[in-house]
């Protein structure tokens, strides 16, 4: 499998995971609404709240890790990189990391606001 195919597989997997996560969050909101009318669902609601809290914690941890990596790349650039190709690769990698951080921030904003 070449790099492009691997990237496509990863992209598809992330997309599917995001879809499943949205479905579960929609189901969580539905349970919250219905819970007002039916106390029986409180146990399920609590389970989904735990799941939501776990997802939020995981995304925050991922964000923090990516931020640390980005900071480290900044330090490498500041110490004086050896070649233009090396700098180009660093900036490209850092750009990917920053984009992923933005996605995580957006996901966290959605999860926390609900």
Which tens digits make up the pLDDT trace of 24-57?
888 888 887 777 667 766 777 788 888 888 888 8
Distances in whole angstroms, Cα of residue 112 to Cα of each of 21, 48, 75, 76, 106: 14, 14, 32, 34, 10
CA 9 to chain centre: 17
How far is 31 from 38, CA to CA, in rounded Å? 9
Which residues are within 8 A (CB) of 92 and not within 5 positions of it... i.e. 6 or more apart? none
Task: Check residue 114 and give its pLDDT.
Answer: 60
How far is 80 from 86, CA to CA, in rounded Å? 10
Task: Check residue 65 and give its pLDDT.
Answer: 87
Task: Check residue 38 and give its pLDDT.
Answer: 72
pTM listed for this prediction: 0.53
Q: Choose the weakest-confidence range: 61-70, 76-85, 96-105.
A: 76-85
């Amino acid at each position: 499998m070449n790099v492009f195919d691997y990237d496509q597989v990863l992209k598809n997997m992330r997309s599917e995971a995001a879809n499943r996560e949205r479905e579960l969050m929609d189901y969580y909101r539905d349970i919250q609404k219905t819970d007002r009318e039916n106390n029986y669902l409180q146990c399920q609601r609590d389970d989904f709240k735990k799941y939501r809290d776990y997802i939020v914690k995981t995304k925050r941890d991922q964000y923090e890790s990516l931020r640390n990596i980005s900071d480290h790349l900044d330090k490498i650039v500041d110490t004086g990189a050896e070649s233009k190709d090396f700098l180009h690769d660093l900036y490209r990698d850092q750009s990917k990391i920053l984009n992923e951080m933005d996605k995580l921030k957006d996901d966290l904003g959605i999860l926390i606001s609900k």
